[in-house]
Amino acid sequence: MGKGNSNKVVILIISLFISLIVGAVVFAMCGYSPLSAYIAILKGGLGSRSSIIISLSQTMIIAFMGLAYITAIRAGICNIGLEGQMYVGAIAAAIAGVYIKGIPSFIHVPLVLLMAIVAAGLWGMLVAVLKIRFGANEIITAIMLNFIAENFTSYLVSGPMKVEGTVAQSERVQDSAHLVNLVDTPQLSSGILIFFFLTIIIFLIMKYTRFGFEVRVTGENALAAETGGISAKRTMSIAMFTSGAIAGLAGAIIVIGVNGRFIDGFSSGFGWDGIAVASLAGLNVIGNIFSSFLFGVLRAGATVVNRTARIPYDFIVVIQAFIVLLLGCPKLSEDLYGKIRKIAVRKGKKDE
Amino acid sequence: MSDVLNMIQSILFSAFRMGVPLAFAALGGIYSSRAGIVAMGLEGMMLTGAFSATYVTYLTNNPWFGLLGGMIAGMLLAMFEGILIVRYKLNQVIGGVGINLLALGGTNLLMQMVWDNRGKSPLVPTIGKVNIPGLGSVSVLLILLIVLAIASWFLIYKTAWGLRLRVIGENPQAARSLGIKTNQIQYTAMAVCGMLSGLAGSYMCIDQLDFFSRNVTAGRGYIAMSIDILGRYHPLGILAGGVLFGAADASQVALQRFNISGQLLKMIPYLVTLLVIVFAVKHVKAPASLGKNMNEE
């Protein structure tokens, strides 16, 4: 156990290190010193009160997506439909937030969140249902549902739901639908409390309930689960509903917390962030918080350096890709680690 | 009435045009799938091929060099994915996600570095057309596609190599016990898959269009994956599938004259793919080992 864990940490550090080196190469290619670029990113993400707030706000959304991914993968499904589920949750929240009027806030906010949970949960569960009922390939259905959700919500906010003006976005949600702010800007709303609450709930369910046990067994071996009297189909469907619902909740929080409205194409790949941070966290719901913070700071900082230093924002996606790939093959990092150690040992001997 | 006829004719005509990249990528997907590797990376290979083809054409002013560049770039990315999956046992879905993210981020990044533009590249010359009696002028690559599909059919169904490839897709352990060098064949299959997907992407940017734009493939790699299933992983089946999905792609262009919102039209190919994959392909048997990594003995 101890050795296994220390090995995991080594792999994690190596993967992260290689990914950051890839980022450094990008900066060098753009003509910037890698070190000063990373320092600029850190400053941009953590340098002032407002930048910390933006970092935390990004962290919160990414952490939601990581949690959503972990929930599904535990049951053995790789949910690559997070992006679409987030859009569906967000548009449901926008509809409930804009068009339901005249009810008090303590009813309106939960109602908005509930709408988002149900809509996005069903959207997520659809992937599992189509797989179970029709044998439809879940990779393809999930990706197609992403594109459909993205384009359909885009249609809604540039057509029927569009606010007057040139920007494709919905009207602002009613005041009664706004989440309570924790600080003076809406960026960091009480959404973060919802996230912590949810993490604890998921953690407890996974660890201590019969359902959590069923999810784990299904994830490890669906056939064995069926033999043992667990309905793998039911477990997968519920896991996908939950996963979609969490992603949808993140979308809703962006609408009634961060932006106050549905803005066309607001997600800059949050769904893929979720996969990266969950991998980085070793699919652990607590680790997810820390890996999300890393990405939140990177994202917030990258926005700043993109403005000031003409470093394309997309380097983040490349770093992300390497994290996903490298953490997926621990053997590669082990091999590399072995080689590095060999070289170090040889060098050490030479020095003597 | 003649309006409708006109529209149908134009859809049919452009179905072939739009179907070519889909069929090229789907043809590549057959090699990968037959070797037991999920062809999810098609999207990334196409995008990488599209960018590289445009860039090489931009540098050399010769689209044929561009085509070569696109194929090589697609192949390199496919080999990278192949090594991670075959040698390092990477989960195939995660591999696909990672490769596609890498291609998306990488091409966006490089586009800004070389052209200093977030949206699209400068215009580049395109590959010429040939005149075929009855069909009019068609792309040279359309003919190449048909030749390659027939060649693939022969290779996969009529040669010893093809038999070995198919055995690996069904039962890699058995293949190995028969003395087949599974790794070598899987790498070769991935290389071919990458070249064909690179070709698919190249076609989009230096034939159909004359520029590269951000995420120009927009999910067509996944649609190609669906064509593989619909075409039962058969090279000639995917030609038909390519035209069908090409028609879905083409209808969104043809319907533009009816004052329908652009976002709704954009949904058509994705919606068609979803419906086809759910309702039309219930009983397609995929290669049995597809998606599973071989265990070490």
Label each residue of B94-126 as H, E or C: HHHHHHHHHHHHHHHHHHHHHHCCCCECCCCCC
Q: Does B278 touch chain A (CB under 8 A)?
A: yes
Q: For position A2, what pLDDT does the model report?
A: 45
Q: For position A350, what pLDDT does the model report?
A: 66
Longest dimension (CA), chain A: 80
Of residues B275, B193, B271, the one with CA closest to residue B238:
B193
Confidence of residue A351 (pLDDT cuts 50, 70, 90): low
Beta-carbon separation of A321 and B99 below 8 A: yes
> Sign of torsion, CA A282 A285 A288 A290?
negative
Q: Which chain A residues are Cβ-neighbours of B25 within 8 angstroms?
A: none
Query: Is A16 inside any structural domain?
Result: no
Strand partners, A162: A170
Query: Is A234 inside any structural domain?
Result: yes
A vs B: CB pairs below 8 A: 135
Residues 158-197 of B with CB under 8 A from A: none
Q: Hey, what amino acid is at A215? A: V
Beta-carbon separation of B91 and A317 below 8 A: no
Query: Is A66 inside any structural domain?
Result: yes
In sequence order, what DSSP letters do the residues of B176-190 get, joined into one string?
HHTT--HHHHHHHHH
- How close A179 comes to chain B (CA, Å)? 30
Query: Is A165 inside any structural domain?
Result: yes
Residues 33-72 of B with CB under 8 A from A: 38, 40
| Cα pseudo-dihedral B63, B100, B42, B264, rounded to 10 | -90
- Tokens 């806030």: give the residue: A105
Collect contacts of A293-296 with beta carbons under 8 A, ≥24 apart. A293/A55, A293/A59, A293/A63, A295/A58, A295/A59, A295/A62, A295/A320, A296/A45, A296/A55, A296/A56, A296/A57, A296/A58, A296/A59, A296/A60, A296/A62, A296/A63
Query: Is A131 inside any structural domain?
Result: yes
Beta-carbon separation of A134 and B278 below 8 A: yes
Beta-carbon separation of B264 and A152 below 8 A: yes
Segment B113-145, tens digit of pLDDT: 899 888 899 999 999 888 877 667 788 899 999
Calculate the alpha carbon distances from A123 to A9, A119, A149, A261, B217 in Å. Answer: 36, 6, 9, 21, 25
Separation between Cα atoms, residue A327 and residue B94, nearest integer Å: 10
Separation between Cα atoms, residue A294 and residue A42, nearest integer Å: 10
Backbone phi and psi for residue B139, each to the nearest 5 degrees, phi listed first: -70, 145
Confidence of residue A270 (pLDDT cuts 50, 70, 90): very high
Q: For position B83, what pLDDT does the model report?
A: 95
Query: Is A335 inside any structural domain?
Result: no
Instruction: Note down pLDDT in tens along chain B; length 297 residues.
Output: 577 777 777 777 788 888 999 999 999 999 999 999 999 999 999 999 999 999 999 999 999 999 999 999 999 999 999 999 999 999 999 999 999 999 999 999 999 989 988 889 999 999 988 887 766 778 889 999 999 999 999 999 999 999 999 999 999 999 999 999 999 999 999 999 999 999 999 999 999 999 999 999 999 999 999 999 999 999 999 999 999 899 888 888 778 778 888 889 989 999 999 999 998 877 677 888 888 886 543
Judged against a pLDDT cut of 60, whether residue A222 lies above it is answered with yes
Separation between Cα atoms, residue A187 and residue A126, nearest integer Å: 32
Segment A49-107, tens digit of pLDDT: 888 999 999 999 999 999 999 999 988 889 999 999 999 999 999 999 999 998 998 99
Out of B97, B118, B278, name the one closest to residue A136 (CB).
B278
* 8 Å CB contact between A116 and A97: no
Q: For position B28, what pLDDT does the model report?
A: 97
- How close B133 comes to chain A (CA, Å)? 38
Q: Which chain B residues are Cβ-neighbours of A135 within 8 angstroms?
A: 282
Angle at A153 between CA A150 and CA A157, to 5 degrees: 135
- How close B37 comes to chain A (CA, Å)? 14
Give chain B's domains with CATH numbers.
2-280 (1.10.3470.10)
Confidence of residue A231 (pLDDT cuts 50, 70, 90): confident
**pLDDT, chain A, mean:** 89
Backbone phi and psi for residue A78, each to the nearest 5 degrees, phi listed first: -90, 105
Q: For position A1, what pLDDT does the model report?
A: 38
How many domains does chain A divide into?
1
**pLDDT, chain B, mean:** 91
Beta-carbon separation of B270 and A144 below 8 A: yes
Percent of chain A with pLDDT over 70: 97
Separation between Cα atoms, residue A63 and residue A247, nearest integer Å: 10
Separation between Cα atoms, residue B190 and residue B78, nearest integer Å: 6
Query: Is A305 inside any structural domain?
Result: no
Tokens standing for A194? 């919802």
What single DSSP character describes residue B279? Answer: I
Q: Hey, what amino acid is at A165? A: G
Cβ neighbours of A337 (radius 10 Å): 15
- Tokens 């997309």: give the residue: A314
Beta-carbon separation of A317 and B38 below 8 A: no
Collect contacts of B127-133 with beta carbons under 8 A, ≥24 apart. B127/B63, B127/B64, B127/B67, B127/B206, B127/B207
Query: Is A340 inside any structural domain?
Result: no
Q: For position A337, what pLDDT does the model report?
A: 77
Q: Hey, what amino acid is at B216? A: V
Of residues B45, B43, B44, B71, the one with CA closest to residue B56:
B71
The residues near B267 (Cβ < 8 Å, ≥ 6 apart) are A147, A148, A151, A152, A155
Out of A80, A147, A314, name the one closest to residue B219 (CB).
A147
Q: For position B1, what pLDDT does the model report?
A: 59
Judged against a pLDDT cut of 80, whether residue A256 lies above it is answered with yes
Separation between Cα atoms, residue A334 and residue B118, nearest integer Å: 38
* 8 Å CB contact between B235 and A126: no
Q: Which has more pLDDT, A351 or A311? A: A311
The range of the structural domain enclosing residue A238 comes to 60-292
- Tokens 């990528």: give the residue: B25
The residues near B128 (Cβ < 8 Å, ≥ 6 apart) are B140
Beta-carbon separation of A331 and B263 below 8 A: no
Separation between Cα atoms, residue A136 and residue A116, nearest integer Å: 25
